[in-house]
Structure 1
Amino acid sequence: MKQRMKQEVMDRPVFWISGGLLLVFVALSIYDLSMVEGWINSSFNFSANLFGSYWELLLLGNFVIGLILAFSKYGKVKLGKLEKPQNDYFKWVAMILCTLLASGGVFWAASEPMYHFVTNPPLFTDHSSTMAGVEPALAQSFLHWGFLAWAILGTLATIVIMYVHYHKGYPMKPRAMLYPIFGERIFKKSVIGSAADIVSIIAVAAGTMGPIGFLGLQVGYGLHSLFGIPNTLTTNIIVIAALVVIAAISVATGVDKGIQFLSRLNVGLTVLLALVVLIVGPTMFILNKFISAEGFHIQNMLTMALYQGDKAWLGYWTVFFWGWFLGYGPMMAIFIARISRGRTIRELILAVSVVAPLVTNFWFTVVGGTGIKAELTTPGSISTPLSEGGMPAAVMSIMDQLPLGLLLAIGFLFVTIVFVSTTVDSISYTVAVTLTGSDEPKRWIRVFWVLIFGVLSVVLLSIGENSISAIQNSIVVTAVPVSILMLPTLWNAPQIAKKLAAEQNITSPAKVPKSAEDSELVKE
């Protein structure tokens, strides 16, 4: 492959600006957390109100266009200039699953269905805390963690990035999504290109540091609940340190070794936990409600995806999640591009937009559905701990309702640590890729970002729990420029698919425009 630009060169301006902005955020939080919270809340509300509708359309359009590509003749196009995939199907899907599912793997899976069950979403008839409210509660969770959420992480954007890097030979960076518009100029000391990389790093850093600190709080609560270990800052820091060590070892050994191994281990443990809960828990209730709730979800998906009623509810739920996942979008697209060489467009779209969401939805039904069944049987058994102790209390309460509850609770805590570790290692890898443009960045750069995320999370946690919520909410603000960056992929990915289909003799060769400058996509 002809290399257009020198690889493995640190982009110092992007490094210093993105790193500097993160340090400024932490410094301001130390100086006056209330001030920072005020800024973020104001920016959060502004972003949610002004861009919420746009994000709904963006995610829906991204999903629909991806499916059209997958089931068209362009679905046969192979990506990444490899005849055979690098990884077998299980390893590949395991690494994909440990992106988004890692963020909501345990605590959101236990708590969100319960929140929606106790108070049904406003767009549905109010059947709160009754059998009729089960399907709406699960379906709303399916929307937030299902087809649309997964599709924005690694479908159309991944196609564009794989084309620009593996087929055209340019650096693997978020700015590659703008190559079809600006051409090679986007990689040459481009202010727009640097801005694209910087906002992508800032957004994903906020979305990573938040869950790390959040994990420390949640696991600290779980250890106190199970073993009486004091739920102190020291305990939380030890948990985060363990997570950082696991992630550092994983990312140091590379995508094809450490990250792949950790992902397979994580998925294997999750499957084991799901089977145990399914067997010892309300088996038929889980199976029946998964099928009926998935049907309800598909039937009402368009309505839920485009709902514009209760703005406060949307900002707290759907728009918040869309901002969070959009913030992850460019980096996850890079990661999925790295592990998907040799796969066809159809394989990519179906794995990310269909298989991964269905697995996620079933997991949410296993965990959250078990909690809902317990709440139906004994009102208040899950909802009361959830309202008083938050999400970790919901997990512990659900496990208390089951045989082998202690062992299952320990298993859930362990899986949570491994889940978040897989997120941290993959994100650290993609930040290193962004800074170097190479899909094999140097080891020290990969490990450096794991350590930075861990240290900054500990600093934020030491300031107070509100600092973790603040940086988590800030991802919605940073998602605004990221969502604009990802918009062109909706029409550029189909153009790229058409061009590659002609090159691979899937369709007849496309006619070259009279002017070679008419389209960068057909310019060789």
Structure 2
Amino acid sequence: MNRSLINWTTFIGALALLTFVTLPLILFPTGGKEVVLMLKDMMTKNLSFVYLSFGLGIFGFLLYLAFSRFGSIKLGEKENLEFSTLSWAAMLFTAGIGASILYWSAIEWVYYYTAPPMGIEPESNKALSWASAYGIFHWGLVPWGIFTLPAVSMAYFFYVRKKPTLKISEACRPLLGNKVDGILGNVIDILFLFGLLGGAGTTLGLTMPLISAGLHDLTGLEETKAMKAFILIVCTCIFALSAYFGLKRGIRLLSDMNLWLSFFLLGFVLLVGPTLFIAETTFNALGIMGSNFLRMASWTEPFNNLGNFSRSGFPETWTVFFWAWWLVFAPFVGLFVARISRGRTIRQLVLGTLVYGTLGSVLFFGILGNYAIYLEMTGAYDVVNAVQTLGPPAAVMGVLNMLPLGKFIVTVFIVLAVIFTATTFDSGSYIIASVVQKEVKGDPMRWNRLFWAFALSILPIVLMYLGGLSTLQTASIVGGIPLLIIMPMLAMSFLKAASHDLSQKDQSSLEEEQEDKIS
């Protein structure tokens, strides 16, 4: 155990900041929750324009990178691809999405159907069409663009400039210079780690009720704290083992398993369900999103709350909230995607992440979501009422039980939820371990990976039992506000470094040509 390789300032600082935030929530849960929710409301209402323009700006910037001369830059000039395209796509998708997509893909449309955007009549056919499209939009190109920006910057400095560390602060060096070696660099890295540690609670907060509802559906056992504790222990052991075995022998294998199990579940629903309806509704949703992409990405309700107009709150409740949430996870997902992208070009990294990530979301929302819509429309199962009265986890189980071999599919769904959770957390622990090490050659140290594997789960577990989990999730989003500054810094740092390196390369090539002519 080589403790000298650890950056103890970052290591202890991240834990201290998380403790500083969570302790008041534990000691003063009511008052702390009110303060955090107030900050969240202030953020979403006053920064709507900032977040929405931020999302569009990143997406446009990435398209520019992909189709400019920067796109041809290879991440390691003499490096072959470290992972096959299928394994690469599986790892980036499972790390970036997690089990949350199992939760939301089946029932997110319910919220848009009953309280639709843009003045559409609730529970109308038009509301249903837009509800089918909005889920894909909220999990599509813009979110994956937010994930991709730090991946491009980090991959460039790690593989092209051969920096031995995977740190957000290191990628800001072209702008900040040697300041990243001091307090400022530590603050940047600690803020990133805090967002990930706090944000990790969302996956647990959504997955545990889903898995426990599935076990209740299969066995009839009551959803007790003991059951949830057992589920958490199983999930923790799986992703701790995966993190222990490292990137190639652990995380990649688990991600591949996750991918094939997802294909089986979605393929089964598509084939035995209303295939034509699912295909047509998904195609229609893509058309709505494609023709209204800019409108959906920039809608702020500017004329509401004026005169006789009332405000629905849809942009702040959903789009702004989602963009803020993806932003919290962006450095972690970006660092992980950077680590697994050796041998690819910037163009392949950008377009691959945008396309594969969005395609995965389209499949889940298009198949599971539209199957649930079909049940609602035909009266086979009242999904809306189930969400409102029984709760979303029970509603998801109700949707799955309408399939042939329903209990078997629920079993597959539970296994997939556990693996999805594990792939997100093992990737997270791997990246945190990399960030707190001074140098990363191959995998981070095993004890370091294991420590963060358990830290990622134990802290949210404690808060979940104390009832402060949702508050911490919101607090971590508020804590992600500094990333609105850090992310543009990453973009500018990459442009500055890559432009300099390309000009140097052009100058070198010109000099070689001149020498050849002389000789």
User: Normalised by the size of structure 2, how large is the TM-score?
Assistant: 0.91
Match of 1:157 in 2: 150
Residue type of the alignment partner of 2:463: L
Aligned pairs for 1:364-513 (under 5 A) are 364-378=365-379, 381-439=382-440, 440-464=443-467, 467-501=468-502
Work out the CA distance in 2 between the residues paired with 1:113 and 1:39.
30
Is the CA contact (8 Å cut-off) linking 2:100 and 2:203 kept in structure 1?
no
Q: Against the structure 1 CA distance between its residues 216 and 300, is the aligned structure 2 distance closer, same or farther, given a 3 Å change threshold?
A: same
Work out the CA distance in 2 between the residues paired with 1:134 and 1:505.
54
Residue type of the alignment partner of 1:158: A
Work out the CA distance in 2 between the residues paired with 1:508 and 1:373.
61
2:291 aligned to which of 293, 299, 304? 299
Match of 2:306 in 1: none
In structure 1, stretches of 5+ residues that fail to align are 1-5, 511-524
Aligned pairs for 1:225-244 (under 5 A) are 225-244=217-236
Residue type of the alignment partner of 1:284: L
In structure 2, stretches of 5+ residues that fail to align are 302-310, 512-519
Work out the CA distance in 2 between the residues paired with 1:92 and 1:442.
23
SS of the aligned residue for 1:56 comes to: helix
Match of 2:120 in 1: 125
Work out the CA distance in 1 between the residues paired with 2:496 and 2:5.
30
Work out the CA distance in 2 between the residues paired with 1:327 and 1:66.
19
Query: How far did 1:53 drift?
Result: 1.7
Residue type of the alignment partner of 2:494: A
Match of 2:177 in 1: 183
Aligned pairs for 1:47-446 (under 5 A) are 47-120=43-116, 122-123=117-118, 125-126=120-121, 128-154=122-148, 156-170=149-163, 171-186=165-180, 188=181, 190-309=182-301, 310=311, 312-378=313-379, 381-439=382-440, 440-446=443-449
Work out the CA distance in 2 between the residues paired with 1:277 and 1:505.
54
Q: Against the structure 1 CA distance between its residues 385 and 311, is the aligned structure 2 distance closer, same or farther, given a 3 Å change threshold?
A: closer
Residue type of the alignment partner of 2:89: V
Residue type of the alignment partner of 1:163: Y
Work out the CA distance in 1 between the residues paired with 2:35 and 2:329.
22
Work out the CA distance in 1 between the residues paired with 2:240 and 2:268.
30
Q: How many pairs align?
A: 498
Query: How far did 1:489 drift?
Result: 2.9
**Bigger CA drift: 330-339 or 24-33?**
24-33
Query: How far did 1:312 drift?
Result: 2.8
Q: Against the structure 1 CA distance between its residues 438 and 7, is the aligned structure 2 distance closer, same or farther, given a 3 Å change threshold?
A: farther
User: Normalised by the size of structure 1, how large is the TM-score?
Assistant: 0.90
- Deviations 1:205-240, CA, capped at 9 Å, x for gaps: 111123224322221122113321110111111111
SS of the aligned residue for 1:406 comes to: helix
Work out the CA distance in 1 between the residues paired with 2:383 and 2:108.
12
1:34 aligned to which of 21, 30, 34? 30
Q: Against the structure 1 CA distance between its residues 241 and 504, is the aligned structure 2 distance closer, same or farther, given a 3 Å change threshold?
A: farther
SS of the aligned residue for 2:5 comes to: coil
Residue type of the alignment partner of 2:216: H
**Bigger CA drift: 45-54 or 381-390?**
45-54
Is the CA contact (8 Å cut-off) linking 1:177 and 1:489 kept in structure 2?
yes
Residue type of the alignment partner of 2:91: M
SS of the aligned residue for 1:97 comes to: helix
Q: Against the structure 1 CA distance between its residues 402 and 178, is the aligned structure 2 distance closer, same or farther, given a 3 Å change threshold?
A: same
Determine whether 1:10 maps to 2:6.
yes
- Deviations 1:13-54, CA, capped at 9 Å, x for gaps: 222221012223343333221122112101211222233321
SS of the aligned residue for 2:369 comes to: helix
**Bigger CA drift: 478-487 or 385-394?**
385-394
Is the CA contact (8 Å cut-off) linking 1:78 and 1:344 kept in structure 2?
yes
- Deviations 1:172-203, CA, capped at 9 Å, x for gaps: 211123212012431x2x22211110110010
Is the CA contact (8 Å cut-off) linking 1:273 and 1:408 kept in structure 2?
yes
Q: Against the structure 1 CA distance between its residues 507 and 216, is the aligned structure 2 distance closer, same or farther, given a 3 Å change threshold?
A: farther
Work out the CA distance in 2 between the residues paired with 1:504 and 1:178.
22
Work out the CA distance in 1 between the residues paired with 2:381 and 2:242.
41
Work out the CA distance in 1 between the residues paired with 2:62 and 2:86.
22
Query: How far did 1:83 drift?
Result: 2.9
Q: Against the structure 1 CA distance between its residues 349 and 509, is the aligned structure 2 distance closer, same or farther, given a 3 Å change threshold?
A: farther
Residue type of the alignment partner of 1:415: L
Is the CA contact (8 Å cut-off) linking 1:375 and 1:382 kept in structure 2?
yes
Is the CA contact (8 Å cut-off) linking 2:173 and 2:493 kept in structure 1?
no
Work out the CA distance in 2 between the residues paired with 1:263 and 1:438.
26
Query: How far did 1:501 drift?
Result: 4.6
Work out the CA distance in 2 between the residues paired with 1:95 and 1:314.
31
Work out the CA distance in 2 between the residues paired with 1:237 and 1:213.
13
Is the CA contact (8 Å cut-off) linking 1:69 and 1:494 kept in structure 2?
no
Residue type of the alignment partner of 1:159: V
- Supply the RMSD in Å over aligned alpha carbons: 2.3
Query: How far did 1:478 drift?
Result: 1.2
Residue type of the alignment partner of 1:153: F
Work out the CA distance in 2 between the residues paired with 1:130 and 1:370.
18
Q: Against the structure 1 CA distance between its residues 402 and 438, is the aligned structure 2 distance closer, same or farther, given a 3 Å change threshold?
A: same
SS of the aligned residue for 2:377 comes to: helix
**Bigger CA drift: 278-287 or 354-363?**
354-363
Is the CA contact (8 Å cut-off) linking 1:503 and 1:509 kept in structure 2?
no
Determine whether 1:23 maps to 2:6.
no
Query: How far did 1:299 drift?
Result: 1.0
**Bigger CA drift: 295-304 or 7-16?**
7-16
Match of 2:515 in 1: none
Q: Against the structure 1 CA distance between its residues 279 and 437, is the aligned structure 2 distance closer, same or farther, given a 3 Å change threshold?
A: farther
Is the CA contact (8 Å cut-off) linking 2:198 and 2:460 kept in structure 1?
no
**Bigger CA drift: 213-222 or 229-238?**
213-222
